[in-house]
Structure 1
C-alpha cells in the first residue's frame, strides 16, 4: 500500500526533514556497512542484482522494517520513559555488538548535532528512537519521516555497495529507483504498526554482521 501525504508540507518542515535525513547529516553512517562489507568480501554480494536482493531483504525483513516500527512508536510516545523503553528494545534487537554500536553511535551523533544547532535536547537514544522523538518535537509528519528515514537507510548502503562491491554510480541509483515501491510499502506498514509487530528474518545480513566482527581487514565499523 502506498502512503499518501494528504496535506502539503510547509517549506520549513520540508527543508528540516530533507536536512536531518540526508546522507550529509553528520550521524557517521558512512562508517557502518551493516555487514555488507563481509558479504562483498565473501563474494555473496557481487553485482547489482545480488546487492539489490540483499538490500531489499534488509529493508523488508530486517533492520529497515524494525527501525521504521521503532521510529513510529517513538514519534507517538507520550513521554521520555516510553522512549527509554524503546531504546532498550532497539539495542536488544541487534544481532551482535557491531550492529548495536551502529544504531547507538548514529543516534548519539544525531542527538549531539541537534543539540549543537539548538534544535532539540535529546538523550543519546538509538537512531530510530532519536529521529522519532526529534521529528515529533519539530512537528514533522510521521508519514514523510518514515519515507525519508528508509530512503536514507537504503541510500547509505547503496553507496557502500557502489564503492565496495564495486558497482557503477548508475547501477547504485538503479537499485534505489527499483526499491522505491518497497520503501513506500515498508513505510506504510510501519505507519500502522506498534511495538508488538517488531521482529524479522534477515538471517543472512545478521550472520554477515557477526562474521564482520572477526574479519582481519576491515574498513567499516559494522
Structure 2
C-alpha cells in the first residue's frame, strides 16, 4: 500500500484499491475495532426499562427516529463536514459535535469512542491522533486516507445501527433472528440517509428525537444498568 507524505497509507488505485478501501472501512466500523461501542446504548436501556420499547416493532420505530431525526442524522452531517474540513477547522466542528450531545452520557459516548478511534487509527495508518468526537474523528481519518465519503457514511451509519441492535438484542430482549430482521429492514433508510447527508451542511444540524434524548438523561440516574449510556 502506498504511503503518503504524512506517513499515512493511501488506498491503491483501481479495483484492488477500491476493494482495499472497503475493507479498511469494514475494519474501522466493525465491532472488533477497539472503540468500546458495545458499552453504550444511546439511551435505549432507559427506554426499555420504562416500557417505551417492548418488542421488535417498538425497537424498529425507536431506531428509525434516532437515525433519521436524532443522533444518526447529526453524526452523518458532522462526518461530512469533518471530511471536507481543513485541519485547522476540525477543532470548531469537534466543539460543535460535543455541544450537540443532549446529555452527559451521550457526550461521554461520542468523546470516548472518538478518542479511542483516533488513537488506534493513528497508530496503524498514521496521521493525527488528537481526540475528537466520534463522527468527526471518522470523517477526518477517512479524508486523510482517501477513502470514499459516501461509503464511509454507509459503513458508519450501519455500524451505528448495528451497535444499537446488539444492545436491543440483550435489553428488550430480542431473538437473534428477530433483531437482525429489524436491522435488515433499515437498509434502504441507511442508504438514503447516506446519500442525503452528502448535500447537508452544519446549518442543517438539529434533532427532534426528544424521547430518545430524555431517555439518555434519565439513564444517568438509573439504579441498575448494563450500559454506560
Please indicate the TM-score interval, normalised by the length of the shorter structure.
over 0.9
Distance 1:118 1:70 in 2: 22
Aligned to 2:27: 19
* Aligned counterparts of 2:31 and 2:77: Cα–Cα separation in 1: 21
Q: Which residue of 2 aligns with 1:184?
A: 191
Give the gaps of 5 or more residues in structure 1.
Answer: 1-6
1:82 counterpart = 2:112: no
Choose the corresponding residue for 1:211, options 210, 215, 218: 218
* Structure 1 residue 118, shift from structure 2 partner: 4.1
**Pairwise CA distance, 1:132:** 0.3
- 2:195 is the alignment partner of 1:199: no
Q: Does 1:103 align with 2:110?
A: yes
Structure 1 residue aligned with 2:143: 136
Q: Does 1:94 align with 2:101?
A: yes
RMSD (Å) for aligned C-alpha atoms: 1.2
1:3 alignment counterpart: none
**Which of 40, 52, 56 does residue 44 from structure 1 map onto?**
52
C-alpha deviation, 1:115, in angstroms: 2.5
* Bigger radius of gyration among the two: 2
Q: Cα offset for 1:189? A: 1.1
**1: CA distance, partners of 2:65 / 2:46:** 16
SS at match of 1:167: coil
**In the alignment, what sits opposite 1:151?**
158
Aligned to 1:161: 168
TM-score (norm 2): 0.91
Deviations 1:24-73 (A, max 9, x none): 21110011100000011111111000000000100000000000000000
**SS of 1:10 mapped into structure 2:** helix
Q: Structure 2 regions of 5+ residues with no counterpart?
A: 1-13
Q: How many residues align?
A: 215
Match of 2:69 among 57, 61, 69: 61
